[in-house]
């Protein structure tokens, strides 16, 4: 591959990264929002317990504190995964393949949310090894009676094995920098927060609505569509880059070939 082909390839990759970065925060917010019914099912019990522990404004304070801690852990995981993804792109040229993986995992997450194919439970089992070490820290903070305890409990609970979080982290692996990765997971957490806070403050009524089958399937279809778009868009970019790299360089018609006797003279 000559210098021109390499430069064209790098420019194409740069444009792809810019496009991913420009849409990443909104995309991760939507992943969190669309999957928030799943979050209520996974973590809704603890938020309900926090809500029932106190009454009035104090209830809202503890629920919000818990969710702030949870989102902080998501952002921390985003920085870690984005750092690994950055190394993979810079030294192993894995950028497009990470993006494809993220798209496929989004599709699998949609199937999981709709209860059509729960293959991501296997991925959650891998995270269970870490959770067994972290979970006792959460138990030591119960019962929660202060904002500090709620924040720390949220930090611990943010590492609960969750296919939705892993789907978001797969997208975060494509972030152009560790800081962007942290912001992406912050956006994801913000997307999950409304349902979690409402489920904790208003308890069982909100939880039942967020987990209704028709709502979960509508959100699952939207997530599947997002994953399919990610895969197709990435595949199109990869095909374009491959075609550009394979296309022979065209001679510049403005530069005419000099006669042999002129070249010999010079």
Whole-number pLDDT of residue 54: 59
Whole-number pLDDT of residue 183: 93
- Return d(Cα 90, Cα 26) in angstroms, integer: 25
Whole-number pLDDT of residue 155: 95
DSSP conformational letter for 254: T
First to last CA, the chain: 30
The reported pTM is 0.75
Q: How far is CA 92 from CA 1, 62, 98, 247, in A?
A: 17, 44, 11, 24
Q: Which segments of the chain have a pLDDT < 50?
A: 1, 5-20, 262-263
Whole-number pLDDT of residue 13: 41
Whole-number pLDDT of residue 154: 92
Phi, psi of 143 (to 5 degrees): -75, 150
Whole-number pLDDT of residue 33: 87
Phi, psi of 152 (to 5 degrees): -65, -40
Q: Which residues contact 212 (CB under 8 A, 6 or more apart)?
A: none
Q: How far is CA 237 from CA 6, 15, 105, 231, 233, in A?
A: 15, 10, 19, 10, 6
Whole-number pLDDT of residue 241: 73
Task: Find tokens 């970065």 and name the residue.
Answer: 21
Evaluate whether 31 touches 191 at the Cβ level (below 8 Å): yes
Whole-number pLDDT of residue 19: 45
Whole-number pLDDT of residue 74: 97
Dihedral, CA atoms, 159, 164, 170, 171, nearest 10 degrees? Answer: -120
């Amino acid at each position: 591959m000559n210098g021109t082909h390499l430069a064209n390839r790098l420019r194409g990759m740069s444009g792809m990264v810019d496009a991913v970065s420009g849409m990443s925060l909104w995309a991760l917010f939507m992943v969190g929002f669309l999957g928030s019914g799943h979050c209520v099912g996974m973590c809704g019990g603890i938020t309900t317990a926090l809500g029932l522990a106190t009454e009035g404004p104090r209830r809202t304070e503890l629920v919000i504190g818990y969710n702030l801690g949870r989102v902080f852990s998501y952002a921390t995981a985003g920085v870690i995964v984005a750092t690994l993804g950055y190394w993979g792109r810079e030294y192993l040229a894995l950028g497009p393949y990470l993006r494809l993986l993220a798209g496929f995992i989004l599709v699998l997450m949609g199937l999981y949310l709709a209860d059509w194919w729960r293959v991501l439970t296997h991925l959650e089992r891998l995270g269970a090894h870490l959770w067994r070490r972290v979970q006792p820290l959460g138990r030591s903070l119960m019962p929660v009676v202060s904002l500090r305890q709620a924040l720390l409990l949220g930090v611990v609970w943010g590492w609960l094995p969750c296919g939705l979080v892993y789907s978001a982290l797969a997208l975060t692996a494509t972030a152009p920098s560790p800081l962007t990765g942290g912001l992406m997971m912050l956006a994801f957490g913000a997307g999950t927060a409304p349902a979690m806070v409402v489920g904790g403050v208003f308890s069982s009524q909100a939880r039942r609505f967020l987990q209704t089958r028709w709502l979960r399937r509508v959100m699952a279809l939207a997530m599947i569509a997002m994953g399919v778009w990610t895969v197709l868009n990435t595949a199109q970019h990869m095909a374009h880059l491959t075609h550009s790299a394979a296309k022979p360089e065209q001679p510049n018609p403005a530069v005419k070939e000099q006669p042999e006797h002129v070249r010999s003279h010079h």
